[in-house]
Structure 1
Amino acid sequence: MSPARRPPAAGRDWARTGAPARRRLSHAQREEEIVREAVGFFAEFGFEGQTRELAKRLNITQPLLYRYFPTKDALVERVYQEVFLRRWNPFWEETIRDPSRPLRERLIAFYTDYATAILTYEWIRLFMFAGLKGLDFNTRYLDLLRERVFALIVAQLRDEFGRPPLAERPVTAPEVEAIWSLHAGIFYLGVRKFVYNMPVDDVSAIVAMKVRLFLDGARTVIGVEETAPPASLQRRDR
């Protein structure tokens, strides 16, 4: 009697078919795997990247991918939720508002932690690609930033400098631009590193320096009435 035939070993099956057997995952695990791979895929290739290429990376079929995300837009939206909203820390606002600490210390603490959250390959590149693609990621995220952080920082600065509160005088355009100058400078560290491939060393020290520079100049803008430019500048602009 001939011996019973053994089932092929996993390694032999891989060699025979030319591809590894797909792992058996629960629905939640497979969805998480797809999202995780999509984050890296779109960060590398932009949102022009095709879902069939993403499916190849995952070693699944494109129809299977669409069972989890019926459209590419649905997957892109999930990437936004995963990268931008899940990294938003609600305690940031408490840090900025904390009356037990000097304002300079609060802003350094906030922006140091914020930099840790956003200065990653995926966050920076997805944000840049979204803007180039014309997606609404940027608009939604920046609206969140202005509502939850910018106005709060302006309120704290006015209190620090003894200027009128927001209830008496709404946030002005120069105040928003002042906050942008600080915020954009920190964001640009990520552009230098993950778009231009330039080294960025000691982010915490750079953030602290930028906050100090910002506060030293903010007194000239925060809570100050807007004034028209000198007549000479007005003539020059015409």
Structure 2
Amino acid sequence: MNNIKHILHSCFIFGIFLLSLSTVVFAASDLPRPLIIVSPDVFYSDKDILYIEGRSVPNHEIEVLLQQPGEKPIQIYTIADENGEWVATSRSHIAEGFWEARARTIDGEGGQSPWSQQRVIESVATSIRFGSFSLSYSTISIILVLLFIGMLIFLQKRYAFMGGSSFIRNTIEEEVQKHVREHEYEDMKQQLNILREQEEKLEEHVSELKNKLS
């Protein structure tokens, strides 16, 4: 008789466990996967703020996961507003390279949605880091140009008596103008690439929204 009671008690406990497990699974599958948008997908880690947005269930917590082979995963948490829109930002330094970004919805009872579609973010370094200190490439370039100009001025003074001052002066002016033109061209080229990437991503996002609405 005691054995029968023990067996019935074990079956009762096991049934409760299965019921709890099925409840958790149902809660997880009941949450739809969120929509994640990354625009632009090129992130300048030393001067920009990482910005990721999307849509999900209103007033629910969103977990954003960034992964790259060989790097520690980065987790960002945010809350979707009453319209289901959410924004995740980070000011932390992100190592250079390509990062995979995904998001999922979390409810207050431990339920989790499936992971969203994967997005790729390219982190680009614009400076050299020395511990907590960083020196941008543009600053390094300016320092090198100033050193070069200083060297030319020194040579001008040293060999002025040889009649070469006008030649050196012209050389200095040409080098300065060349550096300014190259710097302006690189800035314009970078801005144009960003605008093109934003336009492509916007078209992709509009297409995704049309597909979801249809």
Tell me the TM-score normalized by structure 1: 0.28
For the pair shown, which has the larger CA radius of gyration, 1 or 2?
Answer: 2
Greater strand fraction, Structure 1 or Structure 2: 2
Greater helix fraction, Structure 1 or Structure 2: 1
